[in-house]
Structure 1
Amino acid sequence: MNDQPTLTRRAWCAAFAACLTVAVPMPALAEPDWCQIDDPAAWSSARAALIAAGQTDLTRIDCPAQGAPESLPPEIRLPMPCGRSMIFRRIDVPAATLLDQVDGRFGRVIDIDSETPQSVLSNSPWNAPVAGVFPQDSQGRALGSDRLDALSFRSFYLAKYELTQPQWLIHELGLFAVAAAADMHAGTEACGPFDAALSQMNLRQIEAKGGLSWFDAIEFGRSYMAWLLDLDRARLAEGQAPHLPWHQGATGYLRLPTEAEWEFAARGGAAHATAQSRGIVMHHVAGEDGQPPRMPMLDEICAMAPRSDSPRLAAVGTRLPNLFGLHDMLCNAEEIVLDLFRPTRPDGLGGQVGGVLTKGGSSLVLREANAVGRRSEAAALFTLQGEGRNPATGMRLAIAAPVFVGRRDQDTAPVEGMANAALEAGLMSARQALLEGGANADGDADSLSAELARLRQELGHRDLSREELQRQTDALQVEMDAMRVRVTEKDREALRFSIRSGIVTANLIDRIGRNIGLAMHELQRIETSDIALSGSGAEARNRIVARLRENEQRITEAYDLYLQVQSELAARPAPLVDSALRDVRGAFERDEARTMLPNLEMFVTHLADLRRQRGQITAAQRGAWLDALDATRAERATTYPQFH
């Protein structure tokens, strides 16, 4: 479909010029209520708190305070023309060195028998590395070039909400092209057309903007960034802090997120970007009253499209956010990312580059089938009608920065262009650590093989220095053989460790389950005894209930680890893994750890199932495997149904 905006850019600019000719005085929006338009979830929450407290005056809502971007706070508010804002949330990526990354496992489990070929070829599992940008220590404090040795996280920012209709209207009216001057506040002459249009909107329902092309999304980010740079240049000249966060000696900048960044953020971070997470349809949300994160119902995180004669997107921020505080990561707009679409193959992303890639699904089409790992070729870049788009294609921006940035030490003023030996030293140190850890070991062996072939060729064509060439050839052959032995043994030991971890985890799940059964028996005894209503009985009951919750969470975490080990082993060459399994079996038999052998047999059975299914585990299998590992699970559900 080609859902072009109602007014073209030229028409909007003409309207803008006309309103400058005949000034339309508009009252300024009250500053305390900026969040009603720009941070609607925070505004609704603050208003609900006032109502709960018995307040009757709801005319002034206290909007949330925002931290200084220089300190890399969890949330940043960037200004926009006419008193508007865009809110960003910080996305933390674990990193102990400057080259650390999370090997993200993305996509979702595919049911080949029930899905269309297009769905299978769009949504099968794929892997990609994810790394952050802005360096922080373990307390979340921003790091300068002189403190990179304290690194614990590197972060990027992602918009808290999808791009909204008011934010897009600023772009359509050409207000980013107007100098970032003092007269760009709400109620001023320059903002007359915008304020007039805003006054006609339902400010309790700030809708997402749809109908965008990939080029629209790029142009919006470019125009907004140019406006912010004008603003920050003026602020820095006056000795004020910039609005945008800086990465050492370089300003951060706006761009679309990559697909991997988007899905990493949508899932909730490194703990939810694992192979077993592919079987999870929706992202987690925060638990209530200190409880651990939980899996929501679809309606809790997926907005319903408004009833309308023409397709429209829903209001942003009306559903629960994910673990990073991001709203509408599932449903509402199909969010355009920086990458273009590539199909999925059984071994990951394919090489063919296609049209517009969107993430998160839509509230307009197949709402019930949305999944956090869903990806779509939502439109071609171009059709005969022009730039490709559909009514649901929207966007949200990210804040990132370059890799090679200038030096800027802790607590010094922002300045560009300084040599950054500290950054280069940190990057090279990280590279060396990776090499020593075995990274590119196969590549090194290949380079030695190439050198060996070259020397043998020279030996065959030259008579001069034959003895020296033979000596070099023999030395290289010895080095190459030794390297291959080291690499193979290191790989085998890593596999043995993974297998042992999986088997021990399986045994742990069974033991925790048995302890839960004993606790349920004790709880039932208390509730049916005379002490149930006494103070000591209530205290004992609360203590056991807390222990039950803790142990159930331990089983969930252990099972996640078990599935991750299985998924990683299923992706490795079967002969190599089977050899390591034989080593582990022999070690268990020699070390009199025979009690682990039943767990090992179950582990081998599950691995065989996963191999047959090319690494994919269905929701039904997830439940069946857990029932098998937690041997008393079914018995507990039958005997103590009141505690489930």
Structure 2
Amino acid sequence: MSDRPAARPLRAALLGLAAWLAITVPGRAAEPITWPEESYNPSPAPGDVVLPLPCGGAMTFRRIDLPSAGILDDVRVQLGDAQPELGFLSDRRFEVVAGSFTDTATPGVRYFLMGKYEVTRAQWDALAGGECPNPTMRTRVPQTEVSWFDAVAFGQRYSEWLITHARDVLPSESGTPGFVRLPTEDEWEYAARGGMAVSSETFLASRFPMPSGVPAEYLWYQGTGSAEGKLHPIGLLKPNPLDLHDILGNASEMMFEPFRLNRRGRLHGQAGGFIVRGGDFTMPLDQIRSGMRVEMPYYAGSSGKATETRQLGLRLAVAAPVITSPERLAEIEREWRAMPSSSESPANARREDAALSTLDRLADEAGDDAIRSELRGVGQSIREALVDRNDARNRTVRSLVNVGALLGNKLRTDQQRLLAVGQAIEQVARPALRQLQSRRQDAQTRKALGDAEAQMQQMEKQRSGLEDTVRTSREIYVDTVLSTAGDYSDEVVQAQVPTLKAELHARGSDALLPYVDIFVLHMQRMRDNGAADPQSLVDDLTR
């Protein structure tokens, strides 16, 4: 943020707003939840976040974790479908998603909350202000036949009620409470595909992974083997990898922002109606995909009233303001200023910073307004290019360290197999062969001896092959250590380790976490010593 005189009033206003947001309001104890659990969380799972509602009700949410090395860090993801005939609606495109809340117990991660289920009729009625509903199986079906405006107003009512009556259980950031709203379509699709819980390849599939291989066990769609033309109560089917139920099928779900066409890899500039995602119980299975986008008009042309249909429902998200306190504003400012800087080497960073400072000074001193504007535009373009470069570098570093951890794990496995075969040869097969060779050579002994010699040859061949495998694995591992350490500084690598570990943990790959640390240690040794001792690397991995 600039320190020029013209920018100071705006900065002061931002500080005032941040201070106002951070004002601490005494919390009130949440109202007790009296509804039966099956009415708001029919499939409980570890990590569920349950927030109360009026009337003794509740709504269940799931944490959607995103890797993050800082407030201004975000996740670049590929969304959409690779279907040329519908490319103008949902062609592949890159977007960015970020979390709202920090969890100090989980470094390298920020998160937002997504409704575990679609909003039900009972939950809707609990905030309607009338008589409290009696939660039953009938009121456990998704609330539909409400407009986008109704859904936005519902989020407002719920936010105000939570902040007033249950602030202590509502997630907060820097002392500022979160709020409830419709999800953005990027948040929704990231969560629908499985987020950090799935591999990059699986993330791009048309639907989230379904281990049973039977779609009817995960989503309600048109047909006698599934929905049979009607809505169904929430939570009856299996969830996606983030434990979100009915994220595809049953009721379709409204998004927060307006619809835009896809213009060959990016969204078009015209904002239209609102976005509907997820498909519904009236659609055939082949039309229900994570990337499918549908536009709905805000108003029905026939009646002129806000659009509402029997298929159209909603799922809520919990997010937070971005500038939540004066301290957060200062943190954002520091990160923003540092973003264009290169960290590959201090010398590079100093040269780039000096060049940009010189450009800023020349712009300030320029007597001609056009020249001043041109110089400032050049400086901004350079900074944007540096930010893009650094983002790409960080993704590459995480990928390389991940590969290094995988190679380290493979090298350890190969070495253990080699040791096991060697022990079997020297401690079992060879003594048995010598014993046979020492016995009187009758026909039976000669046959046993021939079999033992053939087995020994086979085992020796296996050992030789494993020795080649270990040698190749070691060479590839050492090359990866050397090339990564040579291309990226320890500072750059270390900054990405918490984020990579969070990604691995989310994918259930905790077994690789020790190998991340070992790979980073080996790169540090290489920088310190100028070379890598292959045998010491193997010893570290196998001890």
Q: 1:245-284 alignment to 2 at 5 Å?
A: 245-270=171-196, 272=198, 279-284=204-209
- The C-alpha deviation readout for 1:525-573, integer Å capped at 9, x for no partner, is xxxxxxxxxxxxxxxxxxxxxxxxxxxxxxxxxxxxxxxxxxxxxxxxx
Taking structure 1 as the reference length, the TM-score comes to 0.48
> Which residue of 1 is the match for residue 129 of structure 2?
174
CA contact 2:197–2:242 (8 Å) conserved in 1:
no
> What RMSD, in angstroms, separates the aligned Cα atoms of the two structures?
4.9
2:336 matched to 1:334? Answer: no
> Which residue of 1 is the match for residue 137 of structure 2?
202
Compute the displacement of 1:362 (Å): 1.5
CA contact 2:180–2:317 (8 Å) conserved in 1:
yes
Which of 216, 225, 238 is the equivalent residue of 1:299? 216
> Which residue of 2 is the match for residue 383 of structure 1?
301
Compute the displacement of 1:156 (Å): 0.9
| Distance change in 2, residues 1:356/1:389 (3 Å) | farther
State the alpha-carbon separation in 2 of the partners of residues 401 and 97 from structure 1.
Answer: 16
| Distance change in 2, residues 1:388/1:430 (3 Å) | same
CA contact 2:178–2:319 (8 Å) conserved in 1:
yes
Compute the displacement of 1:395 (Å): 0.4
| Distance change in 2, residues 1:372/1:450 (3 Å) | farther
2:72 matched to 1:154? Answer: no
The letter of the residue matching 1:396 is: R
- The C-alpha deviation readout for 1:144-180, integer Å capped at 9, x for no partner, is xxxxxxx422111111100112222334x534xxxxx
The letter of the residue matching 1:35 is: E
> Which residue of 2 is the match for residue 133 of structure 1?
100
- The C-alpha deviation readout for 1:382-431, integer Å capped at 9, x for no partner, is 4231112332111011111111113xxxxxxxxxxxxx3x3233223322
CA contact 2:254–2:276 (8 Å) conserved in 1:
yes
Compute the displacement of 1:80 (Å): 1.7
Q: 1:492-531 alignment to 2 at 5 Å?
A: none
Compute the displacement of 1:313 (Å): 1.7
> Which residue of 1 is the match for residue 328 of structure 2?
423
CA contact 2:195–2:203 (8 Å) conserved in 1:
no
Q: Which runs of 5+ in 2 are unaligned?
A: 1-31, 344-348, 422-482, 484-543
The letter of the residue matching 1:433 is: A
> Which residue of 1 is the match for residue 66 of structure 2?
93
Partner SS, residue 331 of structure 1: coil
Taking structure 2 as the reference length, the TM-score comes to 0.56
The letter of the residue matching 1:299 is: A
> Which residue of 1 is the match for residue 313 of structure 2?
394
CA contact 1:104–1:270 (8 Å) conserved in 2:
no
| Distance change in 2, residues 1:245/1:448 (3 Å) | same
Compute the displacement of 1:302 (Å): 0.9
2:268 matched to 1:350? Answer: yes
Partner SS, residue 87 of structure 1: strand
The letter of the residue matching 2:161 is: W
State the alpha-carbon separation in 2 of the partners of residues 156 and 208 from structure 1.
Answer: 22
| Distance change in 2, residues 1:402/1:33 (3 Å) | closer
The letter of the residue matching 2:114 is: L
State the alpha-carbon separation in 1 of the partners of residues 92 and 296 from structure 2.
Answer: 19
State the alpha-carbon separation in 1 of the partners of residues 386 and 179 from structure 2.
Answer: 41
2:160 matched to 1:211? Answer: no
State the alpha-carbon separation in 2 of the partners of residues 244 and 215 from structure 1.
Answer: 24
The letter of the residue matching 1:250 is: T
| Distance change in 2, residues 1:83/1:213 (3 Å) | same
Compute the displacement of 1:347 (Å): 2.5
CA contact 2:144–2:309 (8 Å) conserved in 1:
yes
CA contact 2:100–2:173 (8 Å) conserved in 1:
yes
The letter of the residue matching 2:186 is: A
> Which residue of 2 is the match for residue 288 of structure 1?
none
State the alpha-carbon separation in 2 of the partners of residues 344 and 354 from structure 1.
Answer: 12
| Distance change in 2, residues 1:41/1:347 (3 Å) | same
Q: 1:544-583 alignment to 2 at 5 Å?
A: none
2:32 matched to 1:76? Answer: no
2:363 matched to 1:363? Answer: no
Partner SS, residue 78 of structure 1: strand
Compute the displacement of 1:459 (Å): 12
Partner SS, residue 88 of structure 1: strand
The letter of the residue matching 2:102 is: P
Compute the displacement of 1:453 (Å): 13
State the alpha-carbon separation in 2 of the partners of residues 218 and 85 from structure 1.
Answer: 19
The letter of the residue matching 1:202 is: M
Task: Percent identity, please.
Answer: 29
How many residues are treated as equivalent by the alignment? 368
Which of 61, 79, 103 is the equivalent residue of 1:106? 79
Compute the displacement of 1:339 (Å): 0.8
> Which residue of 2 is the match for residue 243 of structure 1?
169
Q: Which runs of 5+ in 1 are unaligned?
A: 1-29, 43-63, 65-72, 141-150, 176-189, 233-240, 286-293, 407-419, 461-468, 523-587, 589-644
State the alpha-carbon separation in 1 of the partners of residues 277 and 193 from structure 2.
Answer: 12
Partner SS, residue 158 of structure 2: helix
CA contact 2:198–2:241 (8 Å) conserved in 1:
no
2:190 matched to 1:230? Answer: no
Partner SS, residue 357 of structure 1: strand
State the alpha-carbon separation in 2 of the partners of residues 229 and 456 from structure 1.
Answer: 53
State the alpha-carbon separation in 1 of the partners of residues 274 and 296 from structure 2.
Answer: 6
Compute the displacement of 1:309 (Å): 13
Compute the displacement of 1:368 (Å): 2.8
CA contact 2:48–2:61 (8 Å) conserved in 1:
yes
2:79 matched to 1:123? Answer: no
State the alpha-carbon separation in 2 of the partners of residues 279 and 154 from structure 1.
Answer: 22
The letter of the residue matching 2:170 is: L
CA contact 1:305–1:314 (8 Å) conserved in 2:
no
State the alpha-carbon separation in 2 of the partners of residues 35 and 356 from structure 1.
Answer: 33
State the alpha-carbon separation in 2 of the partners of residues 387 and 97 from structure 1.
Answer: 41
- The C-alpha deviation readout for 1:467-522, integer Å capped at 9, x for no partner, is xx9xxx9xx9xx99xx89x979x79x969x79x97xx99xx9xx99xx9xx99xx9
State the alpha-carbon separation in 2 of the partners of residues 332 and 449 from structure 1.
Answer: 56
The letter of the residue matching 2:60 is: I
> Which residue of 2 is the match for residue 313 of structure 1?
231
State the alpha-carbon separation in 2 of the partners of residues 458 and 391 from structure 1.
Answer: 58
| Distance change in 2, residues 1:451/1:88 (3 Å) | same
Partner SS, residue 264 of structure 1: helix
State the alpha-carbon separation in 2 of the partners of residues 121 and 87 from structure 1.
Answer: 35
